[in-house]
Amino acid sequence: MSEEEKKKNPGQISRREFLKDAGLVIGGAAVGSIGLASACGGGTTAGGTTTISKTVTTTLPGTGIATTTVTQSKFIDPLDNTEWPTLDALKAHFAAAHPGASLPPYTTLNVNGVDYNVVVPTHWTLAWALRESLGLFGTKIGCDMGQCGACTVLADGIPIYSCILLANEAQGKKILTIEGLSEGIKLSPLQQKFFDNEAVSCGYCTAGFVMAAQGLLNVIPKPTEDDVRLGLSGHLCMCQNFKKTVEAVVGGV
Is 87 inside a domain boundary?
yes
Is 11 inside a domain boundary?
no
Tens of pLDDT along 11-39?
444 444 433 443 333 333 333 322 222 22
pLDDT bracket for residue 2 (50, 70, 90): low
Amino acid (1-letter code) at residue 110: N
Is 89 inside a domain boundary?
yes
Residue numbers of the domain that contains 227: 25-249
pLDDT bracket for residue 74 (50, 70, 90): low
Please give the mean pLDDT across all residues of the chain.
77
Q: What's the pTM value of the predicted model, to 2 decimals? A: 0.66
Domain CATH for 103: 3.10.20.30
Is 4 inside a domain boundary?
no
The count of domains in the chain is: 1
Is 14 inside a domain boundary?
no
The whole-number pLDDT of residue 116 equals 85
Closest CA to 30 of 150, 174, 161, 191: 161
List all residues 6 or more positions away from 75 whose beta carbon is below 8 Å from its beta carbon.
49, 51, 83, 84, 85, 86, 87, 89, 90, 117
Is 43 inside a domain boundary?
yes
Is 61 inside a domain boundary?
yes
Q: Using the predicted structure, report yes or no on whether residue 80 has a pLDDT greater than 80.
A: yes
The whole-number pLDDT of residue 207 equals 94
Is 9 inside a domain boundary?
no
